[in-house]
Structure 1
Amino acid sequence: MEFALVDGKNFHPDCSTLPALSIGNVGQLSVDLLVSSTAAERVAYLDEPSVLLALATTPTGWCPRVTSPFPLKVPYDSPSNGLTFIQQRSPVVKGLMLDFAKNVADFAASIGKKHILILSSLDSGIRKRIHASSDVQIYYISSTSSEGNDEECERLGWKRLEEYSPSQRRWMYLHSLAEGNPSPELASFEDDLEDDDYCPGLPFAALFCFCKAKGLKVTCALCYCSEGDNVSDSLQLAGAACSLLGLSLEKLPGTEGGGWIIPCSWQNMYGPPPDLSIF
C-alpha cells in the first residue's frame, strides 16, 4: 500500500479508526460522522491495488478537482485528539480480501500505529440471541487476550462476540494465514460452510487477524443491523467508538457547543428524491 502525505501533515501514532465493509455500511457511516464531528483534516491519500477506484463525496463535500477516480482509502487526523480516521469508499476486488487485510496491517505497523479500532456490522438475520432493548447492543473482539476479551470494553457495557472462537476452523485458518503458516487441512471447509463460518468470512475478521499478527492492539466494535436506513445504528456505533477512545460528545471540537455534525456525505445515501410531478 502506497501513500502520499498532504504537505505539512503527518500521521499521529496513537489510534487509527477504520471501517470494515459489511451490511448496511454502518462502519463507513460512523467513520464519516467521526471525521466531521472531530474536525479532522485530510492528511494523506492511500493507493491500494486490491480495491476498486471510486468517485464519492467526503464527509465535508466533494473531493476537490475530482476529474478521475481516487484511491479508496483517505486518512484524516484529528490533531487535538491524536487520532487518525481512515475511510473506505469502495469494495475490495473479489478474491483479494486477504491481500487487502495484510496490506492494511503492514501499513499500520509501518507508520507506528499502536491501536487499530475497526467499526463494522453484522447481519441481524443470523443473530442467535435478541436483546430486548431500544439501544443498539455493541459487540466486540479484542487482541488483548487469546479469547478476545477486553476489560475496558466490558466496562463500557459491550458484549464479547460469541461467534469469535479461536479454535473454530475458519478462525484458525485466518490466524494461520496471518501468521504465515497456512494449514492445507484447515482450508478444506470451503466446500462445506456452516453457520459458524459466517463471521470469520467477513472483512472485519481478516483485518483483525492480520493486524493482530503484526503485534498491534486491535479492537473490533460491531453491531447487528439490516439493509435500509441505518442512521440510528451509525450514531450509536460512532458513540461507542467515542467512549472507547475517550472522546466526550459534549466536547467534540467540530462545533462550538459539542455534539455531532452530520456529514454532507450522509445527504447522498439514498440518492435524490423522485420528481413528484410524475405521480
Structure 2
Amino acid sequence: MFITSQSSPPVFKDLTLVMPVVAVGNVGQLAVDLLISTLNLPRVGYLHTDCLIPMAGNNPYATGKEDAGELHTAAEVYAAPELKIAVLQIRAPVVKTKSRRFRRLLLSWIKASGFSRTLVLSSCHAYQRDDQQLQGTPLRYLITLSLLKSSGDAFKELGWKEMERVPLCPGRLDTGTEQPRLYIPGGGITKGLYMDSCTEDIPLAVLLVFCSEGDNVPDALALVSHLDDWLHLLDNPNREAKWKIPISWSLLFGSGIPPAIF
C-alpha cells in the first residue's frame, strides 16, 4: 500500500501520525495542508490503493516555478523525524463500496509502520447537533482506550470536550432501555475508523469540529490550532498569524469572474 519516494524506506516507528478524513467542508484536509505547508514537511512516499478515487495534480505546496510542476496524487505521506511527526494527506473521496476495505488497509499500514499514536482530523454537520452539542466550543474529541491510558491526563488538562453520544430517536421518551449512540453525520469514515481502532486496540484520537459547507478556512485554522495545543508544534502565542497558507489555496473558490461576461 505504501510506496516510498526516497532511495531508502522511511522509518515511522514511534512517530505521531496525523491524517484527515474526507468529511463535510474538507476541514481535516485543509488543516493538514496548513501543517505540511507551515512545517515544510518533505514528501516521503504515497499510498497506492484502488479504494480512493484516482486523481493527480500539480504541487499544492510549490514555492516557485522549479517545483510547481511536480506531480502529486490522492494520498501522500510527509514526515519530519526530528519533529517526531508524519502526516498523511488524503485528497480524494473513498469509493463508497470500498470504505471498509480502505479502513482495514489503513489500520494495517499504521500497525506495520509502528506509529506511536494516530491523530485523525475530521468534521461533521453542525445542523445535526442535538441540544447538548449546541453548548460551548464546536470542537470535540474521541479517544481509544489504548491511547487514553497514556494521554488521558493531557486531555483533562486541556479541558477538551468529548464527543457526546446521542439517543437513537431524539425527542422520544426515554424508556431506560435505549443506549445512546455515537453519531457523526457528514464525517465520512470517521466513526468506522474510530470503532475499528477500538476493536484492534490501536492508540488513536479523533479531533473534529461541527461545521457547515462554505468558507471552511476558519474551521481549519481552529482545528489545527486545537491540535497544536496538544502537540506544541508552533511556539508562538499568535498561531493563526503564523500558519502558512499553501499556494494551492489561491484557487480554493475558483478563479475570479471573467470581465468578458459583462
The answer as to 2:22 corresponding to 1:21 is yes
| 1:268 equivalenced with 2:251 (yes/no) | yes
Q: 1:262 corresponds to which letter in structure 2?
A: I
Candidates 164, 182, 199, aligned match of 2:184: 199
Cα RMSD after superposing both structures: 3.0
Distance 1:115 1:35 in 2: 18
Checking the alignment, whether the CA contact within 8 Å between 1:48 and 1:71 is kept in structure 2 is no
**3-state SS in 1 of match to 2:96:** coil
Q: From 107, 110, 124, give the equivalent of 2:109.
A: 107
The answer to whether the 8 Å contact 2:18/2:118 transfers is: yes
- Structure 1 alignment gaps of length 5 or more: 169-194, 253-257
Q: 1:43 Cα shift?
A: 0.7
Please report the TM-score for the alignment, with normalisation by the length of structure 2.
Answer: 0.81
- In structure 2, the CA distance between the partners of 1:263 and 1:11, relative to structure 1 (3 Å rule), is farther
Where does residue 38 of structure 2 map in the other structure?
A: 37
Q: Percent identity?
A: 27
- Counterpart amino acid of residue 137 in structure 1: P
Aligned pairs, how many? 240
8 A Cα contact 2:147 2:203, kept in partner: no
Structure 2 gaps of 5+ residues are: 169-179
1:214 to 200, 213, 218: 200
Q: Against the structure 1 CA distance between its residues 11 and 241, is the aligned structure 2 distance closer, same or farther, given a 3 Å change threshold?
A: farther
**Rounded Cα–Cα distance in structure 1 between residues aligned with 2:153 and 2:125:** 26
Distance verdict in 2 for CA 1:111–1:63, change over 3 Å: farther
Q: 1:118 aligns with which of 81, 100, 120?
A: 120
Q: Hey, what does 1:242 align to over in structure 2?
A: 228
1:63: how far off? 6.6
Deviation string for 1:11-60 (max 9, x for gaps)?
43221000011100000000000011111110112101211111235441
Q: Which residue of 1 aligns with 2:135?
A: 131
Deviation at 1:208, TM superposition (A): 1.6
List aligned pairs for 1:32-181, cutoff 5 A.
32-61=33-62, 64-66=69-71, 71-128=73-130, 129-131=133-135, 137-144=138-145, 150-163=152-165
Q: Indicate the SS of the match to 1:44.
A: strand
Alpha-carbon deviation of 1:147? 9.6
